[in-house]
Chain A
Amino acid sequence: MKSLILSALLTLFAAPVLACETFTLGDLNIEHAWSRATIGADRPGVFYVEITNNGSTDDALIGIATPAAGMPMLHETVVTDGIASMPHAMSIPVPAGQTVELAPGGYHGMLMGLTTTLAEGDSFPVTLSFQNAGEVVVNVEVLSLRAEGPDCDDAN
């Protein structure tokens, strides 16, 4: 039990900074951009982010691009009748007044054809393309392979 509390405390204090950066594009707020460390570059990497639409018009994330991967794509993990699969997501809706999360077990950027190993502590840029708002480049922090998300003070 003691070690449980200790590890929980350590997780709280080991707050990385970069993944907590906020990017703005018009009415869109983009934060918590992170990825998981990979073992080599032969297996796909992953990209997660949180997008808040503060405007009154619906938008949608329609694509991602990054120098870190030759073939980045938007995917959605779906668990149907206890079976997990991850079909492509043509676009990810970002409705007016709502927050959409690309997070483990749901929407994610699938970084196929990695150009390099993603090591913990590294960062790389990802360009997000939105149907209405246009494009924005965000910095993505590579967290540990075991990470489930960044620990930001503002995370709620």
Chain B
Amino acid sequence: MRLTRLQKILWAAAGLATLAYGLLVLLPNRASEAVPQAAFRPTFTLPDAEGRVRTPAEFAGQHLLVFFGFTNCPDVCPTTLSEVAQVMDDLGDDAALVQPLFISIDPERDRRLGLAEFTAAFHPSIIGLAGDEAQTRAAADSFRIFYAREGDAAAPDGYTMSHSPALYLIGPEGDWLRQFTYGTPATDILADLQPRL
């Protein structure tokens, strides 16, 4: 069977239309699948370096960049905090719309070593939070993240911490928006963040 040129064009048009219709039907479904059924709002009740208790309520309207870590962590933690600092620098005037939080998973030692000077060394905008054991565990559970104290005779004070090293983005209504896996460059975080502000 030989098709005329017109027939070929018509078949091609029909094929394109089918494809376009398929995309129209499928794409919105995909998108709605990515949105969680109910908003996930992780929470915390933790004192800052001055002992003032902070909760998500006071940051309503701002985006939060939340990182769980410990200050005796010279390898992984500075990388993420440096990225956060770079993002805050590059945000310029929009920096006021974003609040970075460092939540200590080793709160007793971090308070003793100095929480405020640690966060300030990376960026003055970062608020360090360090509660007691129960408050810290509650915050981590709420964010659905893991941390544990591991005995290690060779480590300072005989222990070290293992923890989830990702960075979490919380929206202005307190909704979990996404996480940035460890090692996400500051430019990528910035590119994701800027259109949201």
A interface residues (Cβ-Cβ under 8 A, vs B): 3-4, 7, 36, 38-40, 42-46, 71, 73, 75, 77, 79, 82-86, 88, 104-105, 108, 110-113, 145-148
Contacts and interface: CB of A to CB of B under 8 A. Distances in A.
A40 B90 CA distance: 28
Given A79-B165, A104-B78, A145-B121, A7 B146 contact: no
Given A3-B92, A43-B72, A145-B122, A36 B182 contact: no
Instruction: Pick the 10 closest A-B CB pairs, nearest first.
Output: A85-B162, A46-B74, A146-B82, A84-B165, A104-B79, A108-B75, A44-B74, A84-B76, A77-B75, A43-B72
B121 A83 contact: no
A122 B121 CA distance: 17
A39 B121 contact: yes
Contact of B160 (A7, A39, A86): A86
Contacts of B160: 85-86
B156 interface: yes
Contacts of A77: 75-76
Interface stretch (B9-17, B37-45, B111-119): B111-119
A88 B72 contact: no
A44 B86 contact: no
A39 B182 CA distance: 23
Interface residues of B, number: 36
Given A83-B163, A105-B182, A146 B76 contact: no
B75 A86 contact: yes
Given A7-B90, A145-B122, 7 more contacts: A7-B86, A39-B114, A40-B114, A77-B75, A145-B78, A145-B121, A146-B82
B105 to A, nearest CB: 11
Contact of A36 (B78, B90, B164, B165): B78
